[in-house]
């Protein structure tokens, strides 16, 4: 039987897919942001709070009950006609290997900061790891409602400690406990939240001059870094919303600058624009460089094409009541329920008996998964984190980035 999810996948070209992780210092609010994202995308229906232990993200007991949880390696959700796979990245440096492996399977990330603390040492080290893996990032300055929250100071710490140009696209409305919304400096519109609902409004008169100055600053910064924006800036002495958005996307993907947004996950403010930014600025699996692997001593490139030979990286294995879940990032080809694949490094054959897309409080079985996607499979008995599963007819071992050898492209 074909499930809705299968149909959804078919309707979703790869360009609509985002594989993203949240990179954060412990306590910056990753659990809360994740939970709010799942709530807003309709993946879960009840809001939970971290302090009363009802968020879906952090329970081992529920994991045992359901056999699965979003603390599982990846959760899928939908936003604005796009599919987002949210991949868990451990916040602790102790799990550095796990961080490395999850960074390998991401196409983009949201770097989360605390509006009071700004960039902290742990955020610096994860940032460097993401640099090494070439993961494009946007930044979300969380906890804007806290006493002492200071977006400008957090932005300064991003510039100084991460050595990247911040591209601030929002102006907060209100401070600390009075933080009630943001002005989108690209479109010059205000978003104001009231409990769970938010409304789009004109920029309030009291903030108009300040918003214009901030937009000017954004235009100047972007024009310095992006030739098309520069041309428009000279010709019209302004930069249109469309050009700004396109330039910000390019700058994000090249790592030249980092788009900075702000909000308060705890009070559910700023999460919708964050999801919009994930979709707008972070790349799809089609827009990232091909992965490389070694086959018979020769380096091959695999592109995200569902018709290419199947190759996937195992990035996490977990034992649950449902069975041994092997989390895969599919890099090329298509995998179907019932397929036999090869663990190329170990030289073993494995069978794929079920394919699951993981959601917060359920897992949905699908018949197949395509290049670019992230799924959990049941069946493989011994494949470990870091292993490559691939088509028996085209075996290869996916290597960590930067392998120096001749490249042979595989169509
Ligand atoms: P994690 O360790 O990064 O997963 O962080 P959590 O999501 O568990 O949050 C850590 C603490 O910060 C919890 O007590 C949250 O309730 C609190 N918190 C998270 N987001 C916000 C926020 O936007 N504002 C405030 N004031 N507190 C927050």
* 211 is annotated as contributing to ligand binding: no
Specify the pLDDT at position 6.
44
Specify the pLDDT at position 370.
94
Q: Which residue has the tokens 């796979």?
A: 85
Q: Atom 5 of ligand 1 has which residue's CA nearest to it?
A: 29
With 0-12 CB in 10 A as exposed, 13-18 as middle and 19+ as buried, what is 60?
Answer: exposed
Residues 150 and 12: their CA atoms lie apart, in Å, by 39
Largest CA distance in the chain: 67
* 90 is annotated as contributing to ligand binding: yes
Q: Which atom of ligand 1 is nearest to the CA of 32?
A: 7
Which tokens is 327 given? 């989390």
Could you tell me if the CB of 32 is within 6 A of ligand 1? yes
- Number of neighbouring beta carbons within 10 Å of residue 238: 12
pTM of the predicted model as reported, rounded to 2 decimal places: 0.89
Q: Which atom of ligand 1 is nearest to the CA of 34?
A: 7
Q: What are phi and psi of 318, to 5 degrees?
A: -140, 145
- Number of neighbouring beta carbons within 10 Å of residue 13: 12
Specify the pLDDT at position 281.
98
Q: CA angle, corner 356, sides to 71 and 411, nearest 5?
A: 110
CA 28–ligand 1 middle distance (angstroms): 6
Strand order in the sheet with 407-409: 397-398, 291-295, 298-302, 407-409
Q: What are phi and psi of 17, to 5 degrees?
A: -100, 140
Residues 22 and 31: their CA atoms lie apart, in Å, by 10
Q: Which residue has the tokens 């008996």?
A: 353
> What is the Cα Rg of the chain in Å?
22
* 6 is annotated as contributing to ligand binding: no
Give the residue, out of 21, 24, 26, 27, with the most ligand 1 atoms within 8 A of its beta carbon, to mutate for a pocket test.
Answer: 27
Q: Mark 360-376 as b/e (b = at least 16 C-beta within 10 Å).
A: bbebeebbbbbbbbbbb
CA 19–ligand 1 middle distance (angstroms): 23
Residues 305 and 302: their CA atoms lie apart, in Å, by 8
Q: CA angle, corner 106, sides to 101 and 112, nearest 5?
A: 100
Could you tell me if the CB of 29 is within 6 A of ligand 1? yes
Residues 86 and 357: their CA atoms lie apart, in Å, by 11
251, 286 contact by CB (below 8 A): no
Q: Residue 27 contacts by C-beta under 8 Å, 6 or more apart in sequence?
A: 114
* 89 is annotated as contributing to ligand binding: yes
Q: Which of 135, 73, 146, 81 is nearest to 108 (CA)?
A: 135
Q: Atom 19 of ligand 1 has which residue's CA nearest to it?
A: 29
pLDDT tens-digit profile, the chain (411 residues): 333 444 444 445 788 999 999 998 888 999 899 889 988 887 766 555 444 444 444 434 443 333 334 455 788 889 999 999 998 887 655 556 677 788 889 999 999 999 999 999 888 888 988 998 899 999 999 999 999 999 999 999 999 999 999 999 999 999 999 999 999 999 999 999 987 788 999 999 999 999 999 999 999 999 999 999 999 999 999 999 999 999 999 999 999 999 999 999 999 999 999 999 999 999 999 999 999 999 988 999 998 999 999 999 999 898 877 789 999 999 999 999 999 999 999 999 999 999 998 775 567 899 999 999 999 999 999 999 899 999 999 999 997 654 333 444 444
271, 150 contact by CB (below 8 A): no
91, 81 contact by CB (below 8 A): no
Give the residue, out of 23, 50, 59, 175, with the most ligand 1 atoms within 8 A of its beta carbon, to mutate for a pocket test.
Answer: 50
Could you tell me if the CB of 8 is within 6 A of ligand 1? no
């Amino acid at each position: 039987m074909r499930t809705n999810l299968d149909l959804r996948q078919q309707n979703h070209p790869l360009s609509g897919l985002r594989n993203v992780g949240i990179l954060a210092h412990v306590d910056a609010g990753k659990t809360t942001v994740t939970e709010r994202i799942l709530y807003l995308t309709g993946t879960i229906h009840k809001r939970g709070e971290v302090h009363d232990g009802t968020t879906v993200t952090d329970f081992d007991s529920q994991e045992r009950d359901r056999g699965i949880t979003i603390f599982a390696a990846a959760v899928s959700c939908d936003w604005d006609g796009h599919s987002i796979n949210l991949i868990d990245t451990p916040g602790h440096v102790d799990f550095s290997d796990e961080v490395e492996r999850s960074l390998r399977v991401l196409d983009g990330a949201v770097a989360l900061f605390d509006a009071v603390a700004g960039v902290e040492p742990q955020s610096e080290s994860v940032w460097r790891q993401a640099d090494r893996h070439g993961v494009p990032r946007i930044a979300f300055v969380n906890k804007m409602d806290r006493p002492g929250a200071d977006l400008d100071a957090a932005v300064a710490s991003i510039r100084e400690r991460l050595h990247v140009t911040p591209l601030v696209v929002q102006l907060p409305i209100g401070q600390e406990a009075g933080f009630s919304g943001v002005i989108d400096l690209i479109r010059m519109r205000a978003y104001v939240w009231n409990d769970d609902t938010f409304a789009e409004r004109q920029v309030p008169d009291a903030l108009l001059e300040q918003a214009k100055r901030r937009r000017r600053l954004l235009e100047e910064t972007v024009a310095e870094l992006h030739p098309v924006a520069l041309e428009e800036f000279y010709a019209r002495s302004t930069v249109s919303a469309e050009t700004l958005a396109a330039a910000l996307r390019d700058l994000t993907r090249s790592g030249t600058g980092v788009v900075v947004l702000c909000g308060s996950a705890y009070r559910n403010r700023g999460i919708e624009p964050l999801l919009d930014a994930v979709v707008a600025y972070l790349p799809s699996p089609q827009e990232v460089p091909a992965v490389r692997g070694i086959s018979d001593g020769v380096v091959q490139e695999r592109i995200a094409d569902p018709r290419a030979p199947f190759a996937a990286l195992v990035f996490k294995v977990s034992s649950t009541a449902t069975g041994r879940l092997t989390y895969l990032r599919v890099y090329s080809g298509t995998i179907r329920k019932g397929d036999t694949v090869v663990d190329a490094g170990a030289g073993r054959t494995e069978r794929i008996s079920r394919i699951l897309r993981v959601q917060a409080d359920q897992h949905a079985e699908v018949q197949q998964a395509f290049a670019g996607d992230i799924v959990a499979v049941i069946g493989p008995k011994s494949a470990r984190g870091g292993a490559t599963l691939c088509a028996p007819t085209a075996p290869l071992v996916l290597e960590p980035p930067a392998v120096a050898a001749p490249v042979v492209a595989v169509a």
